[in-house]
Amino acid sequence: MSEQDLQQLAIHFGQQSYRGKQLHHLLYKTKAKEIQDFSHLPQAFRNDLQEAGYKVGRSPIHQVVTAADGTIKALIKLEDNRLIETVGIPVEDSKGSSRLTACVSSQVGCPLRCSFCATGKGGYSRNLKRHEIIEQVLSVEELFKHRVSNVVFMGMGEPMLNLKSVLEAHRCLNKDIQIGQRMMTISTVGVPNTIKKLASHKLQSTLAISLHAPNQRLREMIVPSAKSYPLDAIMKDCKDYFLETGRRVSFEYTLLAGVNDKVEHAAELAELLHSWGSGYHVNLIPFNPIEGSEYRRPYKKAVLAFAAALETRKVTVSVRQTRGLDAAAACGQLRNEFQKDPLLVPSDNPEPISVAPIAV
């Protein structure tokens, strides 16, 4: 709830509106996890909140895995016993300053079933509610005992298929938890009509398009949902998004060995981008191997050649450092280890929380 929501809640229970401000401070600054811990509030108000069914706190963490590079992946167990993944990625730059990125899920599973993605292989259940998105960020902060500086909506699920909750969570993360809009990225594989809808909100966050191919034929092979949203339509929407918001669109491109990682593909990608404008940024992601996939991770030489081919054609490019390889950090991998099918864990036999460093 926002500060305004909490003030209205206080008034509804016959309290002064400043009690709502106190509630806001207790939730987002003190991070109290029980209503009875709201020591600043009158006991009668606390009792009223509990009796009316209001709850605070977090969904329990079902399993935690820590990679050698410090990346932590957590499985969070929701009220209906379904599991979602969230990842905390610590980065220290050359100047010694550190940032902590939370990679959050927006759905339980994903209905789009991209061919290289572990989440799609695990099936789809439902959209996440706004609090289920927000608490992932708070859980990462608690695991690291460090403030989250960046949030990427790149975990399980397609954010644009749950845009209402994603936008509500985005507002809370920005206004209540006070993470700058420019420190957040919303990623999408492309859902018709949703980029226009997002543009109307004029966010200062980055929109990242999961492209993965330079032409429609290859993209349909990798991303089956691309059949309903042709490449030209996506590129037009991206151009309109820039005109509406003034924010450049970033393109994610997962490199799959022998499939879309040739220099010719890079040349075709550069041509596609230039035909729709200039100033686009491409983020190359070497494939994170997953169990049962026919795809392979490209050799470093192929990745560098692809990046060089884009750079010589005046396309800004970066190569994402692969994090958490030993922690099943590719989207959906860890959840699939614990939750094959159906999408539930037994409620009467919860997995104990464990932090398990992985040796390399």
Pair (13, 126) in one structural domain: no
**339 is a domain residue:** no
Give residue 358's pLDDT: 32
Give residue 198's pLDDT: 97
d(CA 337, CA 288): 16
Pair (47, 66) in one structural domain: no
CATH number, residue 37: 1.10.150
Q: Which of 110, 117, 172, 331 is catalytic?
A: 331
Give residue 338's pLDDT: 58
Pair (79, 23) in one structural domain: no
Please say which residue of 32, 52, 72 terminates a domain. 52
Annotation says 114 is catalytic: no
Pair (206, 250) in one structural domain: yes
Q: Which of 3, 85, 132, 168 is catalytic?
A: 85
User: What is the domain count for the chain?
Assistant: 2
Contact 335, 156 (CB under 8 A): yes
Pair (104, 247) in one structural domain: yes
List Cα–Cα distances, 128 to 104, 165, 173, 178, 190, in angstroms: 11, 7, 15, 21, 19
Annotation says 172 is catalytic: no
Pair (24, 72) in one structural domain: no
Pair (134, 174) in one structural domain: yes
**353 is a domain residue:** no
Pair (27, 140) in one structural domain: no
Pair (122, 13) in one structural domain: no
Pair (22, 120) in one structural domain: no
Question: Looking at the whole model, is its pTM more than 0.85?
Answer: yes
**118 is a domain residue:** yes
Sign, Cα dihedral of 286, 290, 294, 296: positive
Pair (43, 67) in one structural domain: no
Question: Residue 159 is part of which domain span?
Answer: 61-327
Pair (72, 206) in one structural domain: yes
d(CA 73, CA 355): 10
d(CA 35, CA 208): 38
Give residue 331's pLDDT: 59
Note down pLDDT in tens along the chain; length 360 residues.
999 999 999 999 999 999 999 999 999 999 998 999 998 899 999 999 999 999 998 999 999 999 888 999 999 999 999 999 999 999 887 777 789 999 999 999 999 988 888 777 778 899 999 999 999 999 999 999 999 999 999 999 999 999 999 999 999 999 999 999 999 999 999 999 999 999 999 999 999 999 999 999 999 999 999 999 999 999 999 999 999 999 999 999 999 999 999 999 999 999 999 999 887 899 999 998 877 788 999 999 999 999 999 999 999 999 987 765 554 555 555 666 555 543 444 444 444 333 333 332
